[in-house]
Amino acid sequence: MPRGKFTNHKGRSRRFTNPDELEEERRRDEQKKKWRQQHGDETSESEEEAPEKKISEESGSDSESEESSDEDKKAKGVSKLIEIENPNRVQKKMKKVTALTTSDMDGKPQLSRREREEIEKQKAQAHYQKLHAEGKTDQARADLARLAIIRQQREDAKKQREMDQKQKEDAAKQKTAATQKALGKK
């Protein structure tokens, strides 16, 4: 067991074949081949040679397959008879810098619906604020009327406080005058 906290169990069930077993398996395969050759069973022989032939054929036919694949790519099925163009496919056209005109660049960028609505909303808000400052909206008129009423009430309250203050002062003077008179000082 390995020391430490972490153990790895990956290698526990591995079993390596013995070289003697490999040698025995190779001998059995050779005996089967000999038996097949003696009894005239040539199908197994052609199967063993076939992969070698296929490999040699593939290496030689690479150049041929490239040529034939070009022809197949050009015309598949009925496409050589009927020309079909996909209307949804948009091919990018390359533009040269010299071919670009300033009028192409001057065009305003197209705004999305949300952006357009946001700009319109901001313009409407600014226009309303301008009218409100001038006092031309219903809400501005109501606010000004309320403000006038509040000013009038504050003025009336101020006058009332001043009158009360004068009355208190007069009352205080009369009282001091009455106490002076009573004391006979004057």
Task: Output the pLDDT for position 40.
Answer: 81
Amino acid found at 172: A
Task: Output the pLDDT for position 184.
Answer: 83
- Name residues of the chain where pLDDT drops below 50: 44-46, 50-51, 53-69, 71-72
Q: Is residue 142 one of the residues assigned to a domain?
A: yes
Q: Is residue 175 one of the residues assigned to a domain?
A: yes
Q: Is residue 23 one of the residues assigned to a domain?
A: no
Q: Is residue 172 one of the residues assigned to a domain?
A: yes
Q: Is residue 158 one of the residues assigned to a domain?
A: yes
Looking at the 3D structure of the chain, how many domains does it have?
1
- Is residue 76 within 8 Å of 84, Cβ to Cβ? no
Both tokens assigned to 60: 């030689």
Q: Which residue range is the domain that position 173 belongs to?
A: 135-181
Q: Is residue 143 one of the residues assigned to a domain?
A: yes
Q: Is residue 170 one of the residues assigned to a domain?
A: yes
Burial of 175 (0-12, 13-18, 19+ CB in 10 A): exposed
Q: Is residue 169 one of the residues assigned to a domain?
A: yes
Rg for the chain, CA atoms, rounded: 54
